[in-house]
A and B are shown apart, each in its own frame.
Chain A
Amino acid sequence: MSGYRLPLILIAGWLAAAPGVSVAQTAVRPQPLKSGIEFTGPEVRALQEDEFANPAMLWITRGAALWQQPVGPAQQSCASCHGDVATMKGVATHYPQIDKGSARLINLEGRIQQCREVRQQTAPLRYESEDLLALTALVRMQSRGMPLAIEIDPQNRRHFERGRELYYRRVGQMNLSCANCHQDNWGKRLGPETISQGQGNPYPIYRLEWQTMGSLHRRLRACLSGVRAEMLPYGAPEYLDLELYLAWRSGDLPIETPGVRR
């Protein structure tokens, strides 16, 4: 058994690294693509669709105030450089991306943090803090209705392949991978719920179970705890790789931020 495993890993590694192998041959998207909102009940859908009743809109309101708030020694706000937040339209569709300066993969939260540290010269926000969720949701909402524009290229391929590998890796006491539920069994019932495709398009979301707003990384932590695996810290490189894989996997699904889920 183990005699076969090593060559298989080598072949898989070679396939992943070979420049001529297309993404489609090594990773699959669910067909047809479905947003998680299609698997929720009418109550959750009504909540998401009502621009006022949607509780996530409170974070948007908070984010809009933060956008205008001067911080740091130069008293620069987000608006000081970017102007109206509407100029952020389309920006979120390119995340996660390789940061040119550091050559590292960063997501939208990471970019906001970088702006705070480098441009505004102030302390970064705690990951999953109300303020970071508010700003992330506000910026991402500007791209609502647009699909992500993620290309897998030589710069990000290593992260993409690792994300894919993590997606299919069985973990935890339940020995389940992401794919076991969300690729192979979406649409089937699990207790009172229908298993979704695990799409990232509505994040950050207001989740009834959390009674608050949460990031995609919180959702990944929730899934890991669900299969009784160890949760990684927010912003972990593994989550970023997975986020890139999920971004590719979501194909042309439009951004729904700020979403509501049960």
Chain B
Amino acid sequence: MAARISVPQNARRGDNIEIRVAIQHPMETGYRTDDNGTAIPKNVINKLVCRYNGVEVFRAEMGSGIAANPYLSFFIVAANSGELRFDWGDDSGATGSERASIIVA
């Protein structure tokens, strides 16, 4: 699961900053079959949580209606320097995480 995170390295306190996340994942709907005609089980990233210095600031609960290789953009208020942490998991139990540091002045 390759993933890309976009977080500004620096921000002014109180700024609204855009956070962008992209994860490589087929978001299998459960309605497709492979080349042999066997059904491919549903497997989507069903949850992604973004924590800012340990506090949850954004959470996405997703279904098969989210496009393959899910993309999310949302906004947080730059409060303190520290770490943004992203955790996600799919129906198969696979998990992923990324972190990014931010300097707030």
**Contact surface of A with B, Cβ cutoff 8 Å:** 52-53, 55, 57-59, 61-62, 65, 206, 211-212
Question: Which of B2, B4, B67 lies in contact with A211, CB distance below 8 A?
Answer: B67
**B interface residue count range (under 10 / 10 to 19 / 20 to 34 / 35 or more):** 10 to 19
Name the A residues within 8 Å of B4 (CB-CB): 52, 57-58, 61
Name the B residues within 8 Å of A65 (CB-CB): 2
Using A211-B68, A212-B68 as known contacts, say yes or no to A58 and B22 having CB atoms under 8 A apart.
yes
Query: Residue B63 at the A interface, CB < 8 A?
Result: no
Instruction: Evaluate contact between B2 and A52: CB separation under 8 angstroms.
Output: no
Instruction: Evaluate contact between B26 and A53: CB separation under 8 angstroms.
Output: no
Work out how many contacts link A and B, with CB atoms closer than 8 A.
38
Question: Which of A53, A59, A206, A212 lies in contact with B2, CB distance below 8 A?
Answer: A59
Name the A residues within 8 Å of B24 (CB-CB): 58-59, 61-62
Closest 8 A/B residue pairs (Cβ): A211-B68, A62-B2, A58-B24, A55-B69, A61-B2, A58-B2, A52-B6, A52-B20
Name the A residues within 8 Å of B6 (CB-CB): 52
**Bound state CA distance, A61 and B21, in angstroms?**
13
Name the B residues within 8 Å of A212 (CB-CB): 26, 68-69
Name the A residues within 8 Å of B26 (CB-CB): 211-212
Name the B residues within 8 Å of A59 (CB-CB): 2, 24
